């Protein structure tokens, strides 16, 4: 039985016995790892934009402190460093 995957614009085909779900190949694992790394970078970038940037602009207007902004940056880095 032929199994066909379409992942990130790439067509991957594998042979498998009827009813069997084969483990991912080395190529598929590398692709999955690359996709996860890209997703994680996008999530981290979004966290900085959505959480830290507003505090920075408030600090520029005197509505927050630079220490609050720096603390938020460190919080985001810590949150994502455990997943990288």
pLDDT in tens, 41-64: 999 999 999 999 999 999 999 999
Determine whether 52 is exposed, middle or buried from the number of CB atoms within 10 Å of its CB (0-12, 13-18, 19+): buried
Decide if 82 contacts 44 (C-beta within 8 A): no
pLDDT in tens, 17-39: 777 777 777 888 888 888 889 99
Q: What does pTM read for this prediction?
A: 0.68
């Amino acid at each position: 039985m032929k199994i066909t995957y379409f992942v990130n614009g790439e067509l991957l085909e594998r042979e498998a016995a009827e009813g069997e779900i084969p483990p991912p190949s080395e190529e598929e694992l590398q692709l999955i790892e690359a996709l996860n790394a890209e997703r994680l970078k996008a999530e981290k970038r979004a966290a900085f934009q959505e959480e830290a940037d507003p505090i920075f602009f408030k600090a520029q207007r005197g509505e927050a402190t630079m220490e609050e902004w720096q603390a938020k940056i460190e919080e985001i880095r810590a949150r994502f460093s455990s997943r990288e």
